[in-house]
Amino acid sequence: MILVMRQGCSQEEVTNAEVRLKEIGLTPHTLFGVERTVIAAIGDERRTSVDELSQIPGVDNVMPILAPYKLASRESQPIPSTFDIGGADSPCGGKSKAVTFGGKSIPIIAGPCAVEGRSQILEAAHAVKEAGAVALRAGAFKPRTSPYQFQGLAEEGLSYLAEAREATGLPIVTEVLAPADVPLVAKYADVLQIGTRNMQNFLLLRACGAVKTPVLLKRGMSASLEEHLLAAEYILSGGNPRVMLCERGIRTFESYVRNTFALALVPALKEKTHLPILADPSHGTGVRTLVPAMTRASIAAGADGILIEVHPNPEKALTDGAQTISVKDFAKLVNECRAIAEAIGRTV
| Interacting residue ranges for Mn ion, rule: CB under 5 A | 113, 320
Q: Pick out residues in 18-47 that bind ligand PEP (CB under 6 A).
A: none
Residue 218 binding result from Mn ion, ligand PEP, none, given CB thresholds of 5 to 8 Å by partner type: ligand PEP
Rounded to 10 degrees, the C-alpha dihedral 303/107/235/291 comes to 60
The angle at the Cα of 325, spanning 321 to 326, to the nearest 5 degrees, equals 110
Answer for which of 57, 143, 183, 267 binds ligand PEP (CB under 6 A) is: 143
Is 195 among the residues that bind ligand PEP (CB under 6 A)? yes
Residue 196 binding result from Mn ion, ligand PEP, none, given CB thresholds of 5 to 8 Å by partner type: ligand PEP
Instruction: Tell me how far apart the alpha carbons of residues 260 and 57 are, in angstroms, rounded to a whole number.
Output: 42
Residue ranges with strand state E in 46-129: 59-63, 83-85, 99-101, 108-111
Residue nearer to ligand PEP on the CB measure, 45 or 280: 280
User: What is the CA 154 to chain-centroid distance, rounded?
Assistant: 23
Is 258 among the residues that bind ligand PEP (CB under 6 A)? no
User: 242 and 257 in contact (C-beta within 8 Å)?
Assistant: no
Query: Coil, strand, or helix at residue 136?
Result: strand
Answer for which of 20, 248, 311, 346 binds ligand PEP (CB under 6 A) is: 248
Answer for which of 113, 161, 217, 263 binds ligand PEP (CB under 6 A) is: 113
Instruction: Tell me how far apart the alpha carbons of residues 315 and 321 are, in angstroms, rounded to a whole number.
Output: 6
Residue 239 binding result from Mn ion, ligand PEP, none, given CB thresholds of 5 to 8 Å by partner type: none
- Position closest to Mn ion via CB: 113
Shortest Å distance, C-beta 346 to ligand PEP: 24
Shortest Å distance, C-beta 320 to Mn ion: 4
Instruction: Tell me how far apart the alpha carbons of residues 164 and 86 are, in angstroms, rounded to a whole number.
Output: 13
User: 238 and 95 in contact (C-beta within 8 Å)?
Assistant: no
Residue nearer to ligand PEP on the CB measure, 195 or 292: 195
User: Which residues of the shown chain bind ligand PEP in the complex (CB under 6 A)?
Assistant: 113, 139, 143, 195-196, 218, 248, 283
